Amino acid sequence: MKEQSSTHVKKTRKSSTLTLALLVLTGFICMFNEAQMNTALPTVADLFGVEMNVAQWLTTAYMLVAGIFMPIASFAMRRFPLRKIIGFSIIVLIIGLVVSACASSFSVMLIGRMIQALGVAFYVPVMMTTVITLAPKNKFGLYNGLTLLVLMAAPAISPTLAGIILSHMGLQWLFIILIPLLVVLLIAILCMLDNILKTGPERLDGLSVVLSFIGFGGVVFGVGNAASAGFGSPTTILALVIGVVALIFYSKRQLSIDNPLLNLRVFKRPPYRNSVVVIVVMQFLLFGTILAVPLFLQRAWGMTAFEAGLVTLPSGIVNAIASLLAGVAYDRYKFKPVFLGFIVAAIGFIGVAFSIAAGWGVTGFIITSMIYSLGMPFAITAATSYGLDNLDASEYPHGSSINSTLQQVSGSLGTAVFTMVLYGFPQLPWNTSDVSVMQNGTESVFIIATIVVVLLFIASLFLFSKKVVATSSIAASQPASLCANSIMKNDAYCVRDTATITEVIQELIKRETSGLPVVSDKGTVVGFISDGDILQSLGGDSEHTAVVNLSYFLATYRDDDDFDKRTADVLACNVMSIATSNVVSVNTSTPLERVCVVLGSKRIKKVPVLDDNGKLVGTISRSDVVRHLMNNLSAQTA
């Protein structure tokens, strides 16, 4: 029976891994489909005989629909089974692709794009929530990096793939080629996906839906209209004013009702709120530059869509790899990779502008594009992971939907603003009269991007300062008696990062505890070691690794020479080779309610307590919380 149980655990893990892979691959197709039109816009304009600012609505209208419906995805995740939402979203996307593939006029293709956006509006937030819900606590960044690989790498690679398809197969095949892939993925996902999200009979607030449609729709429409008519246009101003006013009422309603469409209270948490600032600004730059690059290569340098795709391929590959590396970096360094991302992105942006102006040609353009493509994922992935990681599991649907919605809004704003910069920015001082408008505009786009990143870097020094990170607005509003420092154990038992596993076991036995924080010589927490970590190491790569029971190990491996050797090796190794480096901790001012959430949602028995300087000052365990609550109950009863 034990062997069967172990086999079941292994199969479940493999099934989850495969399901995640299918979800991420489908998400890649969704985002590729969204971004591929940037490369196809010149072809669309020539084929249907429309101006570029009209063809641009294939992108703007897509973002308009996505921005309107993404807030409803949060409600859908709380109300309907996961498999139904996934099935609905992919089927709608397929229908939209069929409509665009069969389009004989620009208006029909536009309708098809809007239908596609409806499917993606539900799929992307659901995919993000599912992935981070399944993520182990010590690999949150890696798993979130997978979702952001989709959100960033797909748009970055889309010019290459779309260019190949356009040059060799034609416009309709941009849509046709995705249909069978999505059908196969739909069948596979529905066969393997479990309903892992908690659902219930939640009521949809009709007024919130109406305000959401008017608010997000008005803002996105106004921004999109600005690309063709300008921000001073009466239509643009009217749409923006109506949208902003509706969003104000929408926000107030979400904070006043029990069943909000989006739980905006997550913005009360500084880590999430500050991360959203980074996400919005960087997505603004991402979509703006993704628009500018293929237009510049085709219009200014006279490349075909295929040639432009080949030029952007290296930066797309770098972007994909960097998205995963950024997730791994977050698991180890938390939000610190954000700053590295800013610096590298700024160097790349100004490098692109300089390479064009200096006439470095294709080689210079490729190298500098690879640099900013390396930097942007580190900023976006680390910021997104940091924000979501500081939410409770029940808040993931809200956080994911808010992120996705704001990405669409900021993306549409970036597209509109950089469209105007491309075609209407004043001539730069170093450009002569024979420099094309497109070249001048592209140089201006990347100079503006550089300035924005530098300003964001400076702002982030305050947004992600130690004081802000360590203190939550919720904690500040709570009385001290309800905070972590009122019930924590001040002994702060720990082990040094230079200790061996033998020394760790001795300390665990001495302190009669199951886990200890690992600290550096400066007193900062660098890891956490538990008896379970040690037992898993003793189990090696066997099928019994998941069973962390010492009696079971001793019975199973008695008189096993390999086990004896492995035990000797483990006991002699350094604690940090086994300890969990992604430490979940709380601050001394963290409210008791938040401490309970951390212990419960992260499924841990004990959490270190840090002061405002990041130094270990105590620990809180589940038993400490229960003891405190029981004492209060006894006092009230008496």
Whether residue 207 lies inside any domain: the answer is: no
pLDDT (0 to 100) of residue 467: 55
**3 state SS of 91:** helix
Q: Is the pLDDT of residue 379 over 50?
A: yes
Q: Are residues 367 and 302 in the same domain?
A: yes
Distance CA 143, CA 327 (A): 7
Q: Are residues 441 and 479 in the same domain?
A: no
Distance CA 223, CA 217 (A): 10
Where is pLDDT greater, at 509 or 139? 509
Confidence of residue 366 (pLDDT cuts 50, 70, 90): very high
Where is pLDDT greater, at 330 or 491? 330
Q: Are residues 601 and 481 in the same domain?
A: yes
pLDDT (0 to 100) of residue 111: 92
DSSP annotation string for 564-600: HHHHHHHHHSBGGGTSBSS---EETT-BHHHHHHHHH
> The domain containing residue 170 runs over which residues?
8-194+261-464
Q: Is the pLDDT of residue 67 over 50?
A: yes
Whether residue 442 lies inside any domain: the answer is: yes
Structure tokens at 158: 């889309």
The fraction of the chain above a pLDDT of 70, given in percent, is 83
Q: Are residues 160 and 295 in the same domain?
A: yes
Q: Are residues 445 and 509 in the same domain?
A: no
Confidence of residue 443 (pLDDT cuts 50, 70, 90): very high
Question: Is-contact 341 375, C-beta < 8 A?
Answer: yes
Q: Residue with structure tokens 């803002």? A: 219
State the helix-helix crossing angle for 2-48 and 106-134, rounded to 10 degrees.
160
Q: Is the pLDDT of residue 14 over 60?
A: no
Confidence of residue 511 (pLDDT cuts 50, 70, 90): confident
Neighbouring residues of 38: CB distance < 8 A, sequence distance ≥ 6 = 59, 158, 159, 290, 291, 294, 295
Confidence of residue 416 (pLDDT cuts 50, 70, 90): confident
**3 state SS of 618:** strand
Is-above-0.75 flag for pTM? no
Average pLDDT, the chain: 79
Where is pLDDT greater, at 347 or 602? 347
Instruction: Mark which of 434, 464, 494 sits at the end of a domain.
Output: 464
Whether residue 254 lies inside any domain: the answer is: no
pLDDT (0 to 100) of residue 544: 46
pLDDT (0 to 100) of residue 473: 38
Strand partners, 495: 518
Domain at 438, CATH number: 1.20.1250.20
CA 318 from chain centre, in angstroms, equals 18
Q: What is the CA angle 452-458-460, rounded to 5?
A: 100
Q: How does pLDDT run across 518-527, given as a tens digit for each residue?
A: 888 777 788 8
Q: How does pLDDT run across 285-317, given as a tens digit for each residue?
A: 988 888 888 888 888 888 887 788 788 888 888
Q: What is the mean pLDDT of residues 616-622?
A: 78
Q: What is the mean pLDDT of residues 588-600?
A: 74
Whether residue 550 lies inside any domain: the answer is: yes
Q: Are residues 460 and 479 in the same domain?
A: no
Q: 308: part of which helix (H) or strand (E)? A: helix 305-333
pLDDT (0 to 100) of residue 403: 83
DSSP 526: E
Instruction: Look at the chain and report how many structural domains it folds into.
Output: 2
Confidence of residue 218 (pLDDT cuts 50, 70, 90): confident
Q: In this structure, what are the phi and psi dihedrals at residue 529, rounded to the nearest 5 degrees?
A: -120, 135
Q: Is the pLDDT of residue 233 over 70?
A: yes
Return left, alpha or beta for 525; rule: phi > 0 is left, psi -120 to 50 is alpha, else beta. beta
Q: How does pLDDT run across 248-270, given as a tens digit for each residue?
A: 998 888 888 877 877 788 888 88
Distance CA 204, CA 330 (A): 36
Confidence of residue 385 (pLDDT cuts 50, 70, 90): confident
Confidence of residue 1 (pLDDT cuts 50, 70, 90): very low
Q: Is the pLDDT of residue 626 over 80?
A: no
Q: How does pLDDT run across 68-98, given as a tens digit for each residue?
A: 888 888 788 878 888 888 999 999 999 999 9
pLDDT (0 to 100) of residue 474: 39
Q: Are residues 438 and 552 in the same domain?
A: no
Where is pLDDT greater, at 580 or 283? 283
Q: Are residues 563 and 415 in the same domain?
A: no
Distance CA 164, CA 308 (A): 9
Neighbouring residues of 256: CB distance < 8 A, sequence distance ≥ 6 = none
Q: Are residues 460 and 482 in the same domain?
A: no
pLDDT (0 to 100) of residue 206: 84
Radius of gyration for the alpha carbons in the chain, expressed in angstroms and rounded: 27
Q: How does pLDDT run across 157-182, given as a tens digit for each residue?
A: 777 788 888 888 888 898 999 999 99
Q: Are residues 388 and 535 in the same domain?
A: no
Question: Is-contact 377 491, C-beta < 8 A?
Answer: no
Q: Is the pLDDT of residue 321 over 80?
A: yes
Q: Are residues 442 and 491 in the same domain?
A: no
Q: Are residues 397 and 265 in the same domain?
A: yes
pLDDT (0 to 100) of residue 421: 87
Where is pLDDT greater, at 615 or 24? 24
Whether residue 21 lies inside any domain: the answer is: yes
Distance CA 243, CA 2 (A): 60
pLDDT (0 to 100) of residue 480: 38
In 80-113, which positions are buried (b, 16+ CB within 10 angstroms) versus exposed (e)?
Answer: eebeebbbbbbebbbbbbbbbbebeebeebbbbb
Q: In this structure, what are the phi and psi dihedrals at residue 535, rounded to the nearest 5 degrees?
A: -65, -35
- 3-state SS track over 445-478: HHHHHHHHHHHHHHHHHHHCCHHHHHCCHHHHCC
pLDDT (0 to 100) of residue 401: 79
Domain at 613, CATH number: 3.10.580.10
